């Protein structure tokens, strides 16, 4: 019979190993460490077609994930898909005129939202540039570049490409050109 | 013909009777749990024999299951040029299914049978009756600590199994077959969700731990107090636990990942 002390030490080792394994599953295997979604701001974009996009799909800029899709709704007024995205708080300097498109990762991969940065030009910068061209002192101007903030909406969007629609367009073009050729002959 | 029907009826009644006795025993155990609080030593002793002594078999089989998953997954995925997703395959199958299920099956063989045999022998040698003679409730003194220990050990064992399996897949995939190390971990982290996958796996293993120890404790307590009865009870524990775990796994999977 093992002494009580040895038994308890072994049980302690067992429990510690179990908790360490759980911790490893949480931190190393799953995506807990990647992004803290609670800590961020929400932006919105309207797409003509959001097929294939899912809640929790990634939102990327320059190929780096900066957030996730949190809601996809249908707007009955504009008949468009309203996609809400939560962006990590660290990335609060995205230009307000950025555009959003729905892309496919790989040939058969999942859909994700890709943001492309806009010029980020604001009235102050334009005014300063103008002033410089005209050779006079730029007037002092308030407010920095306009950035995407909580609740902002991305205006320039490009929805997902549906394979059937693409094929249909090719086929109709092909038929059209074929018809023209026949007519010419 | 009537004999056949009577036989069937008797068996059916027997099943319901056993189910009823098992439920009553569970209620007694749960009602006796509070008496364990001032005596955690009893539970620690049982965690040792149920959990710590199962560690070796869990670690070894976890490693090999992970390695096999790595090999098989690689061979299938490489046809599609998707061997980078090996980490996802290994981690998802382990965390969602194989971790809890295989651990529960091994647990039934290693710890459940031992529990049944121990309790059954205590009954056969009239140790339980002796306890009762000394005004010690055997359900609270003998069964409850074992039940709690099994229930608590299962999720820990399953987590160790999954973690070791992921490492086993890593050794085979990254070490032997040359999958990119960064892709293995990053794809895994991208696709495995803490709530959907890891938490549900833990809930599964809790449910399996509950069922496995319940069956083991009940079969021991309900065993016919002869050497043959104890051996039958031990067999029943392993068979019933395996069936219950696999059936329950389907129900839980349908509930968790059904939509």
Q: Which contiguous run of DSSP H or E holds residue A60?
A: strand A58-61
Report pLDDT for B250. 92
Q: Is the pLDDT of residue A144 over 60?
A: no
Torsion of CA A82, A88, A93, A94, to 10 degrees: -40
Interchain contact, B47 vs A11, CB within 8 Å: yes
Report pLDDT for B118. 92
Query: Nearest CA of chain B to the CA of A56: how many Å?
Result: 10
Please name the member of A7, A25, A31 whose beta carbon is closest to the beta carbon of B163.
A25
Average pLDDT of chain B to the nearest whole number: 89
Q: Within chain A, what is the greatest distance between any pair of CA atoms?
A: 101
Report pLDDT for A32. 59
At residue B197 the predicted structure's pLDDT band, cuts being 50, 70 and 90, is confident
At residue B238 the predicted structure's pLDDT band, cuts being 50, 70 and 90, is very high
What average pLDDT does range A68-88 have in this prediction? Answer: 88
Q: Which of A1, A5, A6, A11 to mutate to test the interface with B (most CBs of B within 10 A)?
A: A11
Q: Model-level pTM? A: 0.72
Q: Which of A14, A19, A67, A110 to mutate to test the interface with B (most CBs of B within 10 A)?
A: A14
Interchain contact, B52 vs A18, CB within 8 Å: no
Interchain contact, B52 vs A28, CB within 8 Å: no
A124 vs A127: CA distance, rounded Å:
5
Report pLDDT for A24. 84
Interchain contact, A14 vs B52, CB within 8 Å: yes
A38 vs A86: CA distance, rounded Å:
8
Interchain contact, A18 vs B156, CB within 8 Å: yes
Helix (H, G, I), strand (E, B) or coil at B118: helix
Interchain contact, A31 vs B166, CB within 8 Å: no
How do residues B138-147 score in pLDDT, each as one tens digit?
Answer: 888 888 899 9
Report pLDDT for A95. 82
Which tokens hold the place of A29? 């295997």
* Residues 6 or more apart in contact with residue B20 via CB below 8 angstroms: none
For B97-248, where are the E strands, in sequence order? none
Torsion of CA A30, A32, A35, A36, to 10 degrees: 150
Residues of chain B neighbouring A33 (CB-CB closer than 8 A): 189
What average pLDDT does range A79-103 have in this prediction? Answer: 86
Report pLDDT for A153. 84
B240 vs A129: CA distance, rounded Å:
80
Q: Nearest chain A Cα to B194, which residue?
A: A30
B223-250 core/surface letters (b: 16 or more CB in 10 A; e: else): bebeeeebebbbebbbebbbebbeebbe
At residue B233 the predicted structure's pLDDT band, cuts being 50, 70 and 90, is very high
Residues of chain A neighbouring B160 (CB-CB closer than 8 A): 17-18, 21
Interchain contact, B189 vs A11, CB within 8 Å: no
Q: Within chain B, what is the greatest distance between any pair of CA atoms?
A: 70
Please name the member of A7, A15, A30 whose beta carbon is closest to the beta carbon of B45.
A7
Pairing label, strands A58-61, A153-154: unpaired
Query: What are the distances in angstroms from CA A6 to CA A24, B38, B150?
Result: 27, 21, 20
pLDDT-wise least confident of A13-27, B150-164, B197-211: A13-27
Report pLDDT for B64. 95
């Amino acid at each position: 019979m093992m002494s009580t002390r040895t038994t308890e030490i072994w049980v302690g080792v067992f429990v510690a190993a179990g908790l360490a394994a759980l911790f490893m599953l949480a931190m190393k295997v799953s995506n807990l460490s990647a992004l803290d979604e609670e800590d961020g701001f929400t932006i919105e974009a309207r797409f003509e077609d959001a097929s294939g996009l899912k809640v929790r799909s990634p939102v990327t800029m320059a190929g780096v994930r900066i957030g996730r899709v949190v809601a996809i709704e249908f707007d009955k007024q504009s008949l468009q898909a309203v996609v809400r995205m939560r962006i990590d708080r660290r990335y609060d300097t995205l230009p307000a005129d950025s555009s959003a498109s729905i892309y496919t990762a790989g040939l058969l991969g999942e859909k994700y939202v890709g943001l492309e940065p806009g010029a980020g030009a604001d009235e102050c910068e334009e005014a300063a540039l103008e002033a410089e061209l005209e050779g006079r002192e730029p007037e002092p101007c308030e407010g920095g570049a306009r950035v995407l903030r909580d609740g902002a909406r991305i205006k320039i969007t490009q929805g997902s490409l549906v394979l059937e629609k693409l094929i249909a367009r090719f086929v109709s073009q092909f038929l059209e050109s074929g018809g023209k050729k026949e007519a010419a002959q | 013909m009537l004999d056949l029907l009577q036989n069937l009826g008797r068996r059916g009644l027997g099943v319901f009777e056993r189910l009823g006795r098992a439920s009553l025993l569970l209620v007694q155990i749960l009602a006796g749990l509070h008496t364990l609080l001032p005596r955690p030593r009893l539970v620690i002793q049982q965690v040792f024999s149920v959990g710590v002594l199962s560690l070796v078999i869990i670690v070894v089989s976890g490693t090999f299951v992970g390695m096999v998953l790595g090999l098989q997954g690689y061979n299938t995925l490489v046809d599609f040029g998707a061997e980078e997703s090996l980490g996802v395959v290994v981690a998802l199958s382990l965390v969602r299914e194989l971790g809890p299920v295989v651990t529960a099956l091994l647990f039934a063989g290693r710890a459940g049978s031992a529990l049944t045999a121990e309790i059954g022998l205590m009954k056969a040698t009239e140790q339980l009756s002796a306890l009762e003679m000394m005004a010690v409730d055997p359900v609270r003194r003998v069964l409850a600590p074992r039940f709690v220990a099994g229930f608590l050990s299962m999720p820990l064992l399953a987590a160790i199994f999954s973690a070791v399996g992921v490492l086993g897949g890593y050794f085979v995939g990254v070490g032997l077959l040359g999958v990119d190390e960064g892709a293995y971990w990053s794809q895994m982290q991208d696709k495995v969700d803490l709530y959907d996958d890891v938490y549900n796996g833990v809930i599964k293993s809790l449910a399996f731990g509950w069922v496995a120890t319940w069956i083991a404790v009940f079969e021991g307590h309900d065993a016919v107090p002869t050497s043959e009865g104890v051996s039958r009870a031990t067999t029943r524990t392993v068979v019933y636990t395996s069936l219950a775990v696999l059936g329950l796994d389907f129900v839980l999977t349908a509930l968790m990942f059904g939509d």
